[in-house]
Amino acid sequence: MTGLLDSINVTHALIDDPHGDLDRTGIDKRPVDREVLVGWLGLIGDQQYDKRVHGGLDAAIYAYAREDYDDWQTELGRTLANGQFGENLTTTGVDVNGALVGEVWRVGSQVTLRARSPRIPCRTFQGFVGEEHWVKRLTQRGKPGTYFSVLTQGSINPGDVVEVIERPDHGLTIADLFAIISGAREPEILNRARAAVDHLTDEDREHIAKFLG
């Protein structure tokens, strides 16, 4: 599976938290038309303000699909620019939410990333997007976008090829994991999670352990 890097988005400026839970947030990310270096903790030049819940080795890069933006545009009746959901990478042609937990992407010629976890929507995200009941709506849609860890550092450019180069055989997708975290208990999804337990982050493994038995 191959696609393209539609845009690379970095924090434009720290802004006041639109929902007031935090004093500041780095969610205001906008496309840049240049090469960007990727380090172990994410894009060089990007900012994550609340490091308790954003960033770290297992959530260094956040990706969202342009195709999902287009669906939301139709539903909401408004234009949504790349980066508006706070993602670092906006992609086309690759299934971000259908990525298997632990699968590996190559972006450009140097950088490799591993799919780790779904993004869990929060009140800051809802306030920034400016839609009522946004957390509930995105949860019901089941397409949260994906956090990646960095396997190989390097540089990326807008328009780079994105290629899925390794897929585990357990069958658990990022969307499946998000569904479990959000309350799904269907046996087939839980069975896939049991098969994928070694690929989960410590936090996700602990979070769903009680449902796996």
179 lies in a domain? no
106 lies in a domain? yes
Note the pLDDT of residue 55.
82
Q: What domain count does the chain have?
A: 1
Amino acid letter, 59: A
177 lies in a domain? no
Note the pLDDT of residue 52.
67
184 lies in a domain? no
Sign of torsion over alpha carbons 105, 201, 124, 126: positive
Within 13 Å, how many C-alpha atoms sit on residue 27's CB side?
A: 23
Give 78's DSSP letter: S
State the virtual CA torsion across 53, 90, 169, 205 in degrees, nearest 10.
10
What is the phi/psi pair of residue 188, to 5°? -65, -35
Measured CA to CA in angstroms, residue 91 lies from 62, 64, 176 at distances of 11, 6, 20
Amino acid letter, 173: T
133 lies in a domain? yes
Amino acid letter, 71: D
Q: What is the CATH number of the domain that holds 121?
A: 2.40.33.20
Note the pLDDT of residue 19.
74
Note the pLDDT of residue 47.
84
Note the pLDDT of residue 138.
94
193 lies in a domain? no
Q: Give pTM, 2 decimals.
A: 0.94
Structural domain that includes position 94: 2-171
Note the pLDDT of residue 15.
79
207 lies in a domain? no
Average pLDDT per run of 10 along the chain, which is 213 residues long? 96 81 83 98 87 82 98 96 97 98 98 97 89 93 97 98 98 98 95 97 94 85
162 lies in a domain? yes
Note the pLDDT of residue 20.
63
